Structure 1
Amino acid sequence: MHLEIEELLSIARDAGKVVLDVYGDEKQFEEVKFKSDQSPLTLADEASNNLIVERLKTFTPEIPILSEEGRDISYEERKSWEYFWCVDPLDGTKEFINRNGEFTINIALIKNRVPVLGIIYVPVSNVMYYANQETGGWKIDSEGIKSHIKVDKNSIDWVSVGSRSHASDVEKEVLARYPVVKNVAIGSSIKFCLVAEGTAHIYFRHGPTMEWDTAAGQAILTLSGGQMTTLSGEPFLYNKPSLLNGSFICSAQYLTLRD
């Protein structure tokens, strides 16, 4: 399936604009409520989700959409999907609320349970990452300069990236097995992008995430030459009966924690 990437990048940028509208408006910014899992939901999540879903329905009416804000589609309904969009309209809501700028817009296309296209937009810095099967991974910086990205397979001194909000002792134990000389904590799906562009070399996540948290990042990482697997080295797949993910490891090369 060939899709015009520029239209998808435009959708991500426009979603970023509505998020920044809330981010910069003190009255709207204070409108935070909590979802059933006690994670925060802001007006920005809702505005971004509405924009992305409406635009994707117009752009590809034949492709169903699974988003964080539309998570209640039953497995019976979605299990036969060949293609679907997997959307996180505002990844890093805690980072948004903490006003550190480390939040993203995530849009991924899944084909037969595998991410084949990914877009991650960082609204505050106006940096865009994207990848598809035809052209590989790309970054557009804040000045609009576009560059091809690839993982770094040659470094002997690794940089690890991990969550600012969800770090664990298990992650420290696992990273001690590898030649990690520096650890960077950063929010949202930006972690995948840093590995994809070769700035970092390993990202290990212990504990649960949801499919929309990882789909775009996995696409960008793997289509830039990297690997993302379960801890036993199995493929990391989507459209599961439960949308909850298990632990995973990302790197420039294939790693397994069997040992």
Structure 2
Amino acid sequence: MNCVDLLARVIEQVLSVGKLLAAEWDRPDGPRGSGDKAEVDVEIEVALRRELLALLDCDFWGEETGRRLTGHEFCWVVDPNDGTSDFLLGRRGSAISVGLLQNAVPVLGVVYAPVTNDRGPDCISWAKGTGGVLRNGQILLHRLEHLELAIGSKLLVSTAAVNKAELNAKLCFPAEFIPMPSIAYRLARVAAGDAVAGVSLVPVSAHDIVAGHAILIGARGVLLNQLGNPITYESEAYLSKSSLRCFGGAPRACQELSRRNWDELFIAP
């Protein structure tokens, strides 16, 4: 399987279903759904599942349409709208996330945010064999392996960070924290050079992170769990709950972040 050739076709499918997400955002009465469930999520995943399995008929792990695990070498991992809750609250930056595992290792990722605050439609991708991360069709030469937390660097965190801004500022120091929906999009933007690391402080499953993880690999980055260990996907249990917290980006920065006392944020005032 040539992942480079496959990537172009996956991007085409993701951009196509991205029109559904953008149209949902533009509905006069707002997106359909409540809480963390939007009707468009299922519509997008049904379309993606059909088209991705037509490209490569293998195992499938989806957030909305369930899983098919047969022991195949390859497995598609899909989140049709990572950041649904924020999307339904009117916050820009949720993203379609499509990853591909080969023997439990990420080898392809596409993360597409059709509606953003600062960039317009933004598609970030990578596949094993490409020369680097792609952003909206342009190859990037950005690499993460030598970056560290420093004054002026940025951390991408969840939108909940604004509720305890002072404490988050302390925990992220010396970096500046920037809240945004979608851990998949945070990880992809880190790989594209927008920040030194992306963080999730709540449990994540494979559909949340595999695509972003793949793109980080393309930028020589890492994805670590709450213990500072590399996140893996070699069992159904790890696909279901990949980590309790995750830190993706520059290796030294992520190691340092994993050692900080994030529990402070969850102590009731």
User: Over aligned residue pairs, what C-alpha RMSD do you find?
Assistant: 2.8
* Higher share in strand: 1
Contact 2:36 2:84 (8 Å CA) reproduced: yes
Deviations 1:225-254 (A, max 9, x none): 111122323220124326023222223124
Q: Identity rate of aligned residues, in percent?
A: 21
Structure 1 or 2: more helix by fraction:
2
- 1:36 paired residue number: none
Question: Which residue number in structure 1 is paired with residue 38 of structure 2?
Answer: 42
Residue among 53, 58, 72 paired with 1:57:
53
Change (3 A) 1:258 1:122: closer
**Is the alpha carbon distance of 1:258 and 1:31 closer, same or farther for their aligned partners in structure 2, counting shifts above 3 Å?**
closer
Residue type at the aligned position of 2:16: D
Pick from 155, 163, 168: which aligns with 2:158?
Answer: 163
Q: Is the 8 A contact 1:131 1:223 kept in 2?
A: yes
**Alignment correspondent of 1:214:** 209
From 246, 249, 253, give the equivalent of 1:251: 249
TM-score (norm 2): 0.79
CA–CA distance in 2 between the matches of 1:195 and 1:6? 21
2:70 and 2:207 mapped to 1: Cα distance? 16
Structure 1's 154 and 10: CA in aligned 2 closer, same or farther, altered over 3 A? same
Tell me the residue number matched to 1:110: 101
Aligned to 2:266: none
* 1:184 equivalenced with 2:184 (yes/no): no
Structure 2 equivalent of residue 94 of structure 1: 85
Whole-angstrom CA distance in 1 between matches of 2:170 and 2:210? 23
Q: Which amino acid aligns with 1:219?
A: A
Helix, strand or coil at the partner of 1:70 = coil
Aligned to 1:231, what secondary structure does the other structure show? coil
TM superposition shift of 1:175: 6.9
Give the SS at the match of 1:190: helix
Aligned to 2:24: 22
- What is residue 228 of structure 1 aligned with on the other side? 223
Structure 2 SS opposite 1:102:
coil
- Give the number of equivalent residue pairs: 244
TM-score where L is the length of structure 1: 0.82
1:2-46 CA distance string (max 9 Å, x none): 13221110011011011122222235x45315xxxxx52222102
Amino acid at match of 2:111: I
| Cα distance in 2 for residues equivalent to 1:8 and 1:234 | 30
SS at match of 2:237: coil
8 Å CA contact 2:158–2:199 kept in 1: the answer is no
